[in-house]
Amino acid sequence: MPQHNIHQVKLIINPEAGHGKGRKYLDRILTLLQNRGIEFDVAISEYHEHAIELAENTELDQYDAMIAAGGDGTVYQVLNGIMRRPEAKKPPLGIIPIGTGNAGSWDTTGVRTLDEAIDVILAGKKRKVDIGTFLMDHAMYYFLNVIGVGFVADVGQIAVKFKWMGEVAYTLGVLWETAFLKSHRMRFEFDSQELELDGTFVEFCNTRYTAADMLMAPDASTEDGLIDMVICKSMNRRTLLKAFPRVFKGTHTELPEIDVYKISSVKLWTEEPKVLIPDGEIFGRTPIEVGVIPGGLEIFYKATEEA
């Protein structure tokens, strides 16, 4: 049995993640931990945003690791609970990706399966990653993956209704919102400059991928202390539908309607309040101020031979 320095962990699991994968895999996760000699406390999320409460009410100094089992939304909630804790030193975060969309966790940890996730966590290889922030209504929130505003958030609202269909739900959302496509007046302040335009959407990306396998920000990094701000200017329906497949390869950024900025902070206003979608969660509205905490949290990741 491999030796490791992890003895006590807190596991927060969303039983509804991945259309019930959390409930289905709970016993297997616990068995894997038990077989490796790990002591664990389990907390099961029972309602929306419950995972935030569970993490926020955890005495972090009692654990060698916090583990979030679920999709990007579950990770988002656990992250927000952890970051609200007063402890200066926080235990590393382990992620077991069992949600519908796991873009943020895959991109950050290099892990795609349950068994591999357990192995990676117990191998103990950690790295500090940037944590995105957004200030809204004088309250601070945190994200690991992306925040979308405009078309992408509106698509997310539609996709939630068809979440039982898996990744296809997002494509259905794109088609639906394209039928009623409209741009939004947006104003940005960043790096001592102002930018005002009619935009289809904006994504604030800490990681490269969003949804599941959409390469929204090909050059993003969780170790550069910056957020990649991807702005899609006004598009007509035909151009948007032609551009959509390019997102899966990251070549959409070559289009004249797409601008990408690397920023440390930015303020965004929209003519009308627009809903946000941070890490797959439908939450909040503009105006917001987006920022980043460089190296804000340690995360277990799959070490490569080069590392």
Q: Please say whether the beta carbons of 144 and 204 come within 8 A.
A: no
Question: What is the tens place of the pLDDT at every residue in 84-127?
Answer: 998 889 999 999 999 877 888 888 999 988 999 999 999 999 99
Question: What is the tens place of the pLDDT at every residue in 175-222?
Answer: 777 777 888 999 999 988 999 999 999 999 999 998 778 899 999 999
Q: Give the rounded percent of residues in the chain with a pLDDT score beyond 70.
A: 93
Among 14-23, 129-138, 162-171, 234-243, where is mean pLDDT lowest?
162-171
Angle, CA of 122, 127 and 133, to the nearest 5°: 120
For residue 203, give the nearest of 143, 124, 243 by alpha carbon: 143
The domain defined by 8-124 folds into Rossmann fold (3.40.50)
The whole-angstrom separation of Cα 221 and Cα 262 is 10
Predicted confidence at residue 6, as pLDDT, reads 87
Residue 7 pLDDT > 60? yes
| Architecture per CATH, 141-295 | Sandwich (2.60)
Residue 163 pLDDT > 70? no
Predicted confidence at residue 4, as pLDDT, reads 64
Q: How confident is the model at residue 307 (pLDDT cuts 50, 70, 90)?
A: very low
For residue 81, give the nearest of 50, 55, 108 by alpha carbon: 55
Domain ranges of the chain: 8-124, 141-295
Residue 76 pLDDT > 80? yes
What mean pLDDT is reported for the chain? 90
The whole-angstrom separation of Cα 40 and Cα 34 is 8
Give the type of residue at 115: D
The whole-angstrom separation of Cα 241 and Cα 255 is 13
* Burial 67-91, CB ≥16 within 10 A → b, else e: bbbbbbbbbbbbbbbbbeeeeeebb
Question: What is the tens place of the pLDDT at every residue in 257-272?
Answer: 999 999 999 999 999 9
pTM: 0.91
Q: What is the residue whose two structure tokens read 């419950």?
A: 50
Those residues with Cβ within 8 angstroms of residue 107's Cβ, 6 or more apart along the chain or in another chain: 145, 207, 208, 209, 222
Q: What is the residue whose two structure tokens read 């990676």?
A: 120
Give the type of residue at 163: K
- Mean pLDDT across 137-149: 96
Q: Which two tokens stand for residue 149?
A: 């505003």
Residue 165 pLDDT > 70? no
Terminal Cα distance for the chain, rounded: 23
Residue 273 pLDDT > 90? yes
The whole-angstrom separation of Cα 23 and Cα 29 is 10
